[in-house]
Chains A and B, each alone.
Chain A
Amino acid sequence: MGKILMKGNEAIGEAAIRAGCLNYFAYPITPQSEVAEYLSRRMPEVGGVFLQGESEVAVSYMLFGASACGARVFTTSSSPGISLMSEGISYIAGAQCPAVFVNIMRGGPGLGGILPSQADYFQATKGGGHGDYRLLVMAPASVQEAVEMVMLAFPLAEKYRNPVMLLGDGLIGQMMEPVEFPDHLKSEPTNKDEWATNGMDTRGSNKRNLVKTLFLDAGKLNEHNLMLKAKYDRMKREEIRYELYNIESDYKALIVSYGTMSRVCKTAIDNMKDEGLEVGMVRPQTLFPFPENAVYEAASKESCKVVVSIEMSMGQMVEDVERCVKGKLPVKWYGKCGGDVPTPEEVVEAVKSFL
């Protein structure tokens, strides 16, 4: 059997194993607890590490410690849990350790609800934790894409020595789709002897390694931050990923949407096409770095009159869309938050109202 039917949450767990990551630390939270449940059965089968930590705070540091000694690590959580992990994420980014975090977003603020949401866009792309750091953020729109992004996340985290975050909504975690695990995405272990605290004997040298984030000297901290910035700038040059939909048509409106929301938008775009109304879409697959040029170019089309950011949040990505459109066109927002995923009909109605 080639394909297998999996829940997004299970597929994410399996994808990490297939990518060559056998170390998972986590704390249960709906709607992603199936990842932990799945891996509590699977990790022993493959000789990996599964540990349920006492809190998301602790989990983020288990990742930090393990990553800092050279292991490939990942965790999964949902919005309130990611808030707690944000402290550790800041340290991991500051110490330049690779790690993969998956956020299966639920509604907020506070406990919010357990239904799908995209309200952690700011948290993922603009911070969450303290200090000048960025995460490489990818947003899958299908279970298969979640698999591929998880498998891609490990080499990217190692390439940049930086945490990578997968931002999925509750639907991605909960829905079932057939998936395949592409063999070519399996990562080989990378040599971390230069920096990892894996024991001097492991490296056969007397040079000790130190993983730290403290810089008491202002000049040195500035230098460190400039070096981090250079990495984030390099991500902007090399890691932007996006998908275009119905972009060859003479569209009157351009939708920018990501994750499962973009699938609702695709149905809406198909329906509008049937009615004779052309609408294009840019779907960012990386939220940081954001596909700035793609949005700008798509918004520059002669026929296009309006750009609409459609998201399951109260208008977070719209700020990036506005930034990219650079005032060329009016930028509107449409969204719903609280778990009620907008229907294709509601999207059609919203787009029409802006025209």
Chain B
Amino acid sequence: MGKTFAKPEALSDQHTHYCPGCTHGIIHRLVAEVIDELGIKGRTVGIAPVGCAVLAYNYFILDFQEAAHGRAPAMATGIKRVRPDLIVFTYQGDGDLASIGMGEIIHAANRGEKFTTIFVNNAVYGMTGGQMAPTTMPGQRTTTSPFGRNVKEVGMPIKMAELLSALETPGYITRQSVIKPKYIVRAKKAVKKAFQYQLEGRCFSLVEVISTCPTNWGLTPVQAVKWAEETMLPYYKLGEFKRPD
């Protein structure tokens, strides 16, 4: 039952800046593998967010643009409207997509823009040093919720996949995770499906990926995946929320 396994071509040799155990690296690899498998490296444009993945362009051998905080879906819209033949994906975190960029993602999804969004949800602002995100769990301590997220004051964490699925415009919306090998295998299938829908010119596609942030959670990588499994997955249910067919 053995397998060969190697770095995908669309991924560069550069070592990432991510902390040990940060799952961004896994998600990068899945995207790169899908791009390799679909043979679209030469016509793909990625859009890096503001957030920990701001330097994502260093890790892919692809044309890349770098957006301002939250604006990646607007940039992707601009590209797809003038060059529908290009394959475009945005790579965004929870602060970027669910907070400052909420308007951009909702409207891009609602217009049915034919690009793919990889939405990395790790329940915290990573880059700026562990502040509360719109997806931070109730009671979760962050640098701006030192006593734990008080849902009476700041509301419940936003379930983006469900929110976007409520739009009437057809789309492909799924929530996956990369905290265990079996989830990773499924996540890759979802990422591939998302890109395929784009290739077919069918619809907007978004893969939310439940992820970890050991550094800002104050846990070891192994404890972090356990915390995500026990705390996040019961709230952020995995699965397909919407399909265009």
Contact = CB atoms under 8 A, between A and B. Distances in A.
Check A-B contact in the complex, CB < 8 A. yes
| Most chain A CB inside 10 Å of its own CB: which residue of B57, B68, B79 | B79
Interface stretch (A110-118, A146-154, A210-218, A242-250): A210-218
Interface in A189-228: 197-202, 208-214
A6 interface: no
B44 interface: yes
Contacts of B82: 23, 49, 66, 69, 71, 73
B78 to A, nearest CB: 3
Contacts, number: 131
Interface size class of B (residues with CB under 8 A): 20 to 34
Chain A interface main SS type: mixed
A208 B86 contact: no
A61 interface: yes
Contacts of A292: none
Contact of B43 (A49, A64, A73, A199): A199
B83 A198 contact: yes
Interface string A245-267: 00000000000000000000000
B78 A66 contact: yes
Contact of A87 (B45, B68, B79, B85): B68
A51 B57 CA distance: 28
Interface in A51-103: 51, 53-55, 57-71, 73, 87-88, 91, 95
Interface stretch (B69-77, B150-158, B219-227): B69-77
Interface residues of A, number: 40
B58 to A, nearest CB: 9
A213 to B, nearest CB: 6
B81 A54 contact: no
B61 A68 contact: no
B241 interface: no
B42 A199 contact: yes
| Most chain A CB inside 10 Å of its own CB: which residue of B42, B57, B61, B103 | B42
A197 B67 CA distance: 13
A61 B113 CA distance: 15
A68 B75 contact: yes
A254 to B, nearest CB: 43
B64 A23 contact: no
Contact of B74 (A49, A58, A70, A213): A58
B78 A73 contact: yes
B83 A200 contact: no
Contacts of A73: 78, 82
Interface of B: 41-45, 47-48, 54-55, 57, 61-68, 71, 74-79, 81-83, 85-86, 103-104, 106-107
Interface of A: 23, 25, 49, 51, 53-55, 57-71, 73, 87-88, 91, 95, 197-202, 208-214
